[in-house]
Amino acid sequence: MKHACFLFLLSIAGFQLNAQNCCVQNNGWVAMASTQKFQAAHEAPLPFEYESKTGKMISFETKDGKEGRAFYLPSDQATNNVLLVFPEWWGLNDYIKQEAERWQKMLGNIDVYAIDLYDGNVATTPEEAKKYATALDEKRGKNIVEGVLAVVGTDKNVATLGWCMGGAWSFTATILAGQQAKACVMYYGFPEQDSATISQLKCDVLYNWGSKDAFITKDKIDAFQKNIVATQHQFILHSFRADHAFANPSNPKHDPAATEEANSYAFKFLKEKLQLQ
C-alpha cells in the first residue's frame, strides 16, 4: 500500500514538472512583464493611424472553438513563402501593420500575416499592455498560431519575426510550424529555456539583442544558444549597444541606427533562408 501511494505521489510530481517545463518560456515572460521596472521601461506609443491599400484583417477558426484574427498582406503573385509577424506587448496596432507591410515590400514575393494574440484588444498605456500580456493564455496563443498555420497550408515555407513578447512568440510559432519552418527572427524575445522544446527546432535562428538590455541578460542568451546549437541549427547573435526595445516600431525612444543595422541583418537572413530573389 505504501509503495502504491509513493508511486501515485511520484506520478503527480512528474506531471507537475512536465506542466512546468512546457510553459517555461511563458512563465519567464510573465514574470518579467509583471514587474514595475519592465512596465516603466516601455513608454506608451505616440498616437498613430495607418491605412493599408493592400492589407486587410482576416478571421479564421481555432481549434478551441473561437476565432483568431490577423492582418493579412497577400503577395501580388503566387508564392510559396510566408512571414508570420508577432507584435510587441502593445498588441496588433497600426505601427505593427505598417511594419508588416514594410517587410513585405522589402522581401518581395511573400505573404505576410501579422498575428493578433490579444483577440482584438490593443494597449495604449503600459498598464493596459501589462494587463493583456500577463493575461495571455499560452494555450490560446498557440491555438491562434496553429489557426494561422492552417490557413497558410502545409505546402508553404514559413518564416517568423517578432519584437519583445513577439520575439518569444516568433520562436514558439517556429516550433509549431515544424518542418515548414525555414527561418526565425527574434528581436530581444525572452529565450525559451526548456531544452526539450528547443530540441524540436527545424531551422536557424537570428537573434538581435541590445547589450544594455536589463531584462534579457547574456546568461539567458548563452543558455538558449547552447540548446539551439545542440539541434545542429545555427544561432546567429547580433549585439548592439542599445537598450531593450531599441527596434520596437512603437517605441518613442527607439534607436534608429541600431534598428537599421538589425533590420539589415534580419533582411539578409530571411532572403537567404527563403531563397527570395
Domains of the chain: 2-273 (3.40.50.1820)
38: left (phi over 0), alpha (psi -120 to 50) or beta: alpha
pLDDT at 13: 40
pLDDT at 33 over 90: no
Can you give the C-alpha Rg of the chain in angstroms?
A: 19
Q: Are 150 and 122 in contact (CB under 8 A)?
A: no
Going by pLDDT thresholds of 50, 70 and 90, the confidence category of residue 26 is low
Tens of pLDDT, residues 148-193? 999 999 999 999 999 999 999 999 999 999 999 999 999 999 999 9
Point out the least confidently predicted range of 4-8, 71-75, 149-153, 180-184. Answer: 4-8
* Residues 28, 35: Cα–Cα separation, whole Å: 12
pTM over 0.85: yes
- The pLDDT tens digits for 206-226 are 999 999 999 999 999 999 999
